[in-house]
A and B are shown apart, each in its own frame.
Chain A
Amino acid sequence: MANLKDLRNRITSVQSTQKITKAMKMVAASKLRRAQDAAEAARPYAERMESVLASLASSMVGQVGGPKLLAGTGKDHVHLVVVATSERGLCGGFNTNIVKGARLKIAQLIAEGKDVKIVTIGKKGAASLRRNYSSRMVKHFDMSHVKRLSYGDAASITDYLLSAYDNGEFDVCTLFYAKFQSALTQIVTAQQMIPASYNADNIVDLGGGAYDYEPDETEILEALLPRNLGIQIFRSLLENAASEQGSRMTAMDSATRNAGDMIDALRTTYNRTRQAVITNELIEIISGAEAL
């Protein structure tokens, strides 16, 4: 039978763990609110951008040439997989799910005989991908210094992708991140960034008219495509940040609850043991007195 002192120690240790998980849950909840606001505030820009792009792109369809970012390199051999995860752990299945999604895709691409290169954002994903694919990892972006995500953080990633694309280092780029839906659900999303993908539903009906372009169509597209890439990355990072906090909040909430259950169970055992000890002592005293 466990002795009383051990039980007391275990109860205190579980209690302090519970305090920590509770605090983490509260911190995550307040960070979540901020991250969610930021993610929602960035949505209009990204949506408008997509609709401008969609209408421009649809008018370019069928034309020969066109910017490489939209039309692609004409090849489909080298795939770049960008995996965005968090810098910190203790956030439930958040990182695992993103990495799982990315792994599936990578394995599938390799099976198809494609060349796969991996870029990671955030150290958690990098750590678990390095185990299998360390030779394929070409670049890592450290986000640990970032307190509040700004467009500039996305811009450095965008610049890297653009220059690598210009140098012909890859043909297709896909980004993995978790789209925020609620604190309970985050959806792992794979978004094709290069060549740019767009949703044809976003095209505004011009009622038979056509756009005038100032300066001209190609020049606008050439300015718009890199910026669109930046915006999409920025938006994904914001979504990811919100997902991370949501996931952490849920994970810490259940950890707090588990700790509570554990304390209850330990306390019952403790009380039972205490009673047993007292009974034993009494029996000893009484049988001692009887012997006299």
Chain B
Amino acid sequence: MADKLHFELVSPERLLMSTDVDMVVVPGVEGDFGVLINHAPVVSTLRTGILEVHNGDTPELLLVRGGFAEVNPEGLTVLAEEAMLLSDVDRPALEAELKNANEDVADAKDDVHLTEANKTRDRLVEILGVLDLVA
């Protein structure tokens, strides 16, 4: 269809979505922006947040973390480091993971482990923070 935006969502592991949609709202570092067909070319980094895919009545919500969005005449490509459907997010599991991560930070023996554990924790804190905003 000519009046639809071609949208692709890719994570390092796989291509998650490749469809034609009405509009996508992207969580950019400098604020959310909506992308419709014929949007001007943009490259933006993403912040952890909710990506809305509008196609029909109810928008599909996805949680994305880190990465880039690129708009060019061919459409919108979101390169996310991590992406999952908001409905698939298992909050209690994430909270349990965060608890583990906190313990790892406390138990870390050397710098390597500490940075590693801190990274995991920060990632979870970020995701849970976004979930708090949505709920």
A residues whose Cβ falls under 8 Å from a Cβ of B: 38, 41-42, 44-45, 48-49, 52, 55-56, 151, 204-207, 209-215, 219-220, 223-224, 227, 231, 234
A26 → chain B closest CB, angstroms: 26
Question: Is the CB–CB distance between B43 and A48 below 8 Å?
Answer: no
> For residue B70, which residues in chain A have a CB less than 8 angstroms away from its CB?
48, 52
Say whether, besides A48-B10, A49-B79, A213 and B42 are in contact (CB < 8 Å): yes
Instruction: Encode contact with A along B67-80: 1 for CB under 8 Å, 0 otherwise.
Output: 11010111001010
Question: Is the CB–CB distance between B13 and A214 below 8 Å?
Answer: no
In the bound assembly, the distance between CA atoms of A236 and B30 in angstroms comes to 33
> For residue B33, which residues in chain A have a CB less than 8 angstroms away from its CB?
214
In the bound assembly, the distance between CA atoms of A55 and B30 in angstroms comes to 21
Q: Closest residue of chain B to A223, judged by CB?
A: B45
> For residue B134, which residues in chain A have a CB less than 8 angstroms away from its CB?
none
Q: Which B1-30 residues sit within 8 Å CB-CB of chain A?
A: 8, 10-15, 28-30
Q: Closest residue of chain B to A56, judged by CB?
A: B43
B77 → chain A closest CB, angstroms: 5
Q: Which of A151, A206, A234 contacts B41 (CB under 8 A)?
A: A206
B residues whose Cβ falls under 8 Å from a Cβ of A: 8, 10-15, 28-30, 33, 40-45, 67-68, 70, 72-74, 77, 79, 81
In the bound assembly, the distance between CA atoms of A45 and B78 in angstroms comes to 9
Question: Is the CB–CB distance between A206 and B43 below 8 Å?
Answer: no
Question: Is the CB–CB distance between A214 and B45 below 8 Å?
Answer: yes
> For residue A205, which residues in chain B have a CB less than 8 angstroms away from its CB?
73
> For residue A48, which residues in chain B have a CB less than 8 angstroms away from its CB?
8, 10, 70, 77, 79
Q: Closest residue of chain B to A41, judged by CB?
A: B14
Say whether, besides A48-B79, A215-B45, A42 and B14 are in contact (CB < 8 Å): yes
Q: Which of A42, A52, A219 contacts B12 (CB under 8 A)?
A: A42
Q: Which of A52, A206, A212 contacts B68 (CB under 8 A)?
A: A52
In the bound assembly, the distance between CA atoms of A224 and B45 in angstroms comes to 9
Q: Closest residue of chain B to A46, judged by CB?
A: B12
Task: List 12 A-B pairs, Cβ < 8 Å.
Answer: A45-B10, A45-B14, A45-B15, A205-B73, A206-B72, A211-B42, A211-B72, A214-B28, A214-B43, A215-B44, A220-B45, A223-B68
In the bound assembly, the distance between CA atoms of A44 and B45 in angstroms comes to 19
Question: Is the CB–CB distance between A215 and B29 below 8 Å?
Answer: yes
In the bound assembly, the distance between CA atoms of A206 and B43 in angstroms comes to 13
Question: Is the CB–CB distance between B72 and A41 below 8 Å?
Answer: no
Question: Is the CB–CB distance between B13 and A42 below 8 Å?
Answer: yes
Question: Is the CB–CB distance between B12 and A234 below 8 Å?
Answer: yes
> For residue A211, which residues in chain B have a CB less than 8 angstroms away from its CB?
41-43, 72
Say whether, besides A41-B13, A49-B79, A214-B29, A204 and B74 are in contact (CB < 8 Å): yes
> For residue B45, which residues in chain A have a CB less than 8 angstroms away from its CB?
214-215, 219-220, 223
B65 → chain A closest CB, angstroms: 12
Question: Is the CB–CB distance between B41 and A52 below 8 Å?
Answer: no
Question: Is the CB–CB distance between B28 and A224 below 8 Å?
Answer: no
Q: Which of A214, A219, A224, A227 contacts B42 (CB under 8 A)?
A: A214
In the bound assembly, the distance between CA atoms of A150 and B83 in angstroms comes to 15
Question: Is the CB–CB distance between A45 and B11 below 8 Å?
Answer: yes
Say whether, besides A213-B43, A213-B44, A206 and B77 are in contact (CB < 8 Å): no
In the bound assembly, the distance between CA atoms of A142 and B101 in angstroms comes to 24
In the bound assembly, the distance between CA atoms of A38 and B8 in angstroms comes to 19
A184 → chain B closest CB, angstroms: 26
A240 → chain B closest CB, angstroms: 16
In the bound assembly, the distance between CA atoms of A128 and B44 in angstroms comes to 45
Question: Is the CB–CB distance between A214 and B73 below 8 Å?
Answer: no
In the bound assembly, the distance between CA atoms of A234 and B74 in angstroms comes to 27
> Which of B15, B40, B44, B79 has the most chain A CB within a 10 Å cutoff?
B79
In the bound assembly, the distance between CA atoms of A231 and B68 in angstroms comes to 13
Q: Closest residue of chain A to B82, judged by CB?
A: A151
Known A41-B13, A55-B43; further 6 A-B contacts with Cβ < 8 A: A41-B14, A52-B70, A211-B72, A214-B33, A214-B43, A220-B68
